[in-house]
RNA sequence: GCCGCCGUAGCUCAGCGUGGUAGAGCGGCUGGCUGUUAACCAGUCGGUCGUCGGUUCGAGUCCGACCGGCGGCGCCA
């Protein structure tokens, strides 16, 4: 197949877009789209780095090339050689005049995804193994990849140690009703909801740790912000107060969001998303203030109850930057939260809320480090003491004040990409009604 | 778990009120076209009306049960 006397170099589409006209290159990729208009044949080639248009012209291209370009099916894998030229009519302003094309793996016809079937979300998710090749979903995944790298960089630059916690656990971190349970050699175990307890053990070894791993929630939530399996980034720091913890979240989110916005500009353009820089410090609103604001808008809820979605959305729409809701009542929080010295009904915890109505993306707080306080809290919450024995045990051996947070990767992405539904942020989303493909 | 809505062609949906053997647009396929980009033009294929049962001479249409999905709430990252 190699052309005699040529200086054909194998490059990616992205690389060849910045090469000079007249360069001879070899590309490998997939037929994203094609159109045959008689004596002209066009193929939109995708290789994972970018897209470029291939052109065949009767008279200029050989009969063989014309035949292959007309016959090739959508999504076939091809290797192609030809000459680059600029043309304003082509996507990305460049096209490849094909001199030589070979089909490496022919795709069956018809390709199931067309301009009619893209109207059906359920069809696209039933065929997610194929539909992820599309421009929108791949842009979201590239942004996701960058976000994850930025998160790792952030924590490593600050001396955090990356740890992984087990996915198979014997006790709940959150409420017991939301666990996936299964048989483990005759014992009842669960899929983890959070790495937090394991991080709390690890901080006494490493000082500051973070995790990034799947979390599972059996919540029967049919909302555009819930997955049953999602990736959570959690961080825990010894000797940190809730004040330190909120500052860390601010630094983390500004670092990650601004890096992603800068590095994945093209993908955000593809999605039509204009994003503004995230700035520190984030505004802080107390739970009581949220409740007052909600009541002024006719949304009533008892003090001590969690903030209803409608109220959270209302407040979220009032901001253009992420913000904290602080001073949650203990009754709306898990047992391990530490309370204020001056008011034992109020926890040292905060939710981090994305603006524009997107809502909660992270929760963090200071944990109880005192043995007797935690023991009393487990008892008054009617939790099985035996399940939390090791967690409690940590408080016997030099547990200092400490704080941490958990942030949902898909929730952040949904906000950054301005997506209607969180399932678009996952390559193979798991929701209450979907575990396939 | 709760409230509401929907299952008819590959996709989106009309038809159901007033029962009489099934429609549209898009897509697919075939052919045409020297600049396609959501192409265009001509032709053509396409249905166990979610499942089971009931009423009826006759059910996509009426009744019941079940299954599946969607939107929202609660809960949460």
Q: What digits encode the pLDDT tens for the residues A383-422?
A: 888 889 999 999 999 999 999 999 999 999 999 999 999 9
Cβ-based contacts (< 7 Å) between A 141-160 and strand B: none
Please state whether strand B lies within 7 Å of residue A222 at its CB atom. Answer: yes
Tell me what percent of the residues of chain A surpass a pLDDT of 70. 97
A324 has a pLDDT exceeding 80: yes
Q: What digits encode the pLDDT tens for the residues A148-198?
A: 999 999 999 999 999 999 999 987 665 555 889 899 999 989 999 999 999
Length A379 CA → B73 C1' (Å): 31
Average pLDDT over every residue of A88-98: 95
The bases of strand B with some atom under 7 A from any protein CB are 1-2, 10-12, 25-29, 32-39, 68-77
Using C1' positions and the CA of A95, the closest nucleotide is B35
Please state whether strand B lies within 7 Å of residue A119 at its CB atom. Answer: yes
3-class DSSP state of A431 = strand
Model ipTM?
Answer: 0.91
Distance, CA of A141 to CA of A103 (rounded, Å): 27
pLDDT value of residue A175: 56
B10 C1': nearest CA residue: A117
Average pLDDT over every residue of A129-145: 96
What tokens appear for A101 in the block? 């094309």
Average pLDDT over every residue of A266-276: 93
Q: How confident is the model at residue A34 (pLDDT cuts 50, 70, 90)?
A: very high
Please state whether strand B lies within 7 Å of residue A350 at its CB atom. Answer: no
In A151-290, which ranges are E strands? 161-162, 168-169, 181-184, 187-191, 208-216, 229-238, 284-286
pLDDT value of residue A176: 53
pLDDT value of residue A220: 86
Location of structure tokens 């949650």: A328
Bond preceding residue A401 cis, omega within 30 of 0: no
Length A123 CA → B48 C1' (Å): 22
Q: How confident is the model at residue A237 (pLDDT cuts 50, 70, 90)?
A: very high
Which residues, in sequence order, are CB contacts of A250 under 8 Å at separation 6+? Answer: A280, A281, A282
Average pLDDT over every residue of A246-259: 98
Tell me what percent of the residues of chain A surpass a pLDDT of 90. 89
DSSP code string of A347-388: BSEEEEEETTTTEEEEEEEEEP--HHHHHHHHHHTT--GGGG
Average pLDDT over every residue of A372-379: 95
A423 has a pLDDT exceeding 90: yes
Q: Mean pLDDT of all residues in chain A?
A: 94
The separation between the first and the last C-alpha atoms of chain A, rounded to the nearest angstrom, is: 38
Using C1' positions and the CA of A412, the closest nucleotide is B77
Please state whether strand B lies within 7 Å of residue A35 at its CB atom. Answer: yes
Q: How confident is the model at residue A1 (pLDDT cuts 50, 70, 90)?
A: very low
What tokens appear for A385 in the block? 């003491």
Average pLDDT over every residue of A203-216: 97
A2 has a pLDDT exceeding 60: no
Average pLDDT over every residue of A352-358: 96
pTM of the complete model: 0.94
Please give the C-alpha separations between residue A397 and each of A204, A235, A387, in angstroms, as whole numbers.
9, 21, 19
């Amino acid at each position: 197949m190699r052309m005699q006397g040529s200086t054909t170099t194998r490059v990616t589409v992205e690389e060849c877009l910045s090469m000079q006209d007249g360069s001879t290159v070899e590309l490998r990729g997939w037929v994203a789209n094609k159109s045959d208009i008689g004596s002209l044949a066009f193929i939109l080639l995708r290789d994972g780095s970018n897209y470029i248009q291939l052109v065949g012209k009767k008279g200029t291209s050989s009969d063989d090339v014309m035949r292959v370009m007309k016959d090739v099916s959508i999504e076939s894998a091809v290797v192609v050689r030809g000459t680059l030229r600029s043309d304003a009519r082509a996507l990305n302003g460049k096209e490849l005049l094909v001199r030589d094309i070979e089909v490496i793996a022919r795709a069956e016809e018809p390709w199931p995804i067309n301009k009619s079937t893209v109207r059906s979300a359920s069809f696209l998710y039933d065929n997610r193994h194929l539909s992820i090749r599309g421009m929108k979903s791949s842009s979201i995944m590239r942004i996701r990849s960058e976000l994850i790298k930025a998160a790792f960089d952030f924590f490593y630059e600050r001396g955090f140690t990356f740890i992984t916690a087990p996915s198979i656990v014997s006790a709940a971190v959150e409420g017991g009703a939301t666990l996936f349970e299964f048989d483990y050699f005759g014992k009842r175990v669960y899929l983890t909801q959070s790495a937090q307890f394991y991080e709390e053990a690890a901080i006494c070894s490493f000082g500051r740790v973070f995790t990034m791993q799947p979390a599972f929630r059996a919540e029967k939530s049919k909302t555009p912000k819930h997955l049953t399996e999602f990736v959570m980034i959690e961080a825990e720091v010894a000797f940190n107060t809730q004040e330190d913890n909120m500052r860390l979240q601010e630094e983390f989110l500004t670092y990650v969001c601004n890096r992603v916005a800068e590095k994945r500009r093209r993908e955000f353009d593809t999605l039509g998303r204009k994003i503004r820089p995230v700035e520190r410090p984030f505004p802080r609103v107390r739970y009581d203030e949220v409740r007052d604001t909600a009541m002024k808008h006719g949304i009533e809820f008892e003090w001590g109850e969690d903030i209803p979605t409608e109220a959270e959305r209302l407040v979220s729409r009032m901001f253009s930057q992420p913000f904290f809701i602080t001073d949650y009542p203990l009754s709306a929080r898990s047992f391990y939260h530490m309370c204020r010295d001056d008011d034992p009904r109020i926890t040292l915890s905060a939710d981090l809320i994305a603006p524009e109505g997107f809502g909660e993306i992270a929760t963090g707080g200071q944990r109880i480090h005192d043995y007797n306080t935690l023991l009393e809290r487990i008892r008054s919450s009617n939790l099985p003491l035996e399940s939390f024995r090791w967690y409690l045990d940590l408080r016997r051996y030099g547990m200092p004040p400490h704080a941490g947070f958990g942030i949902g990767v898909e929730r952040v992405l949904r906000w950054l990409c301005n997506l209607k539904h969180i399932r678009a942020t996952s390559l193979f989303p798991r929701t209450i009604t979907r575990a396939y493909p």
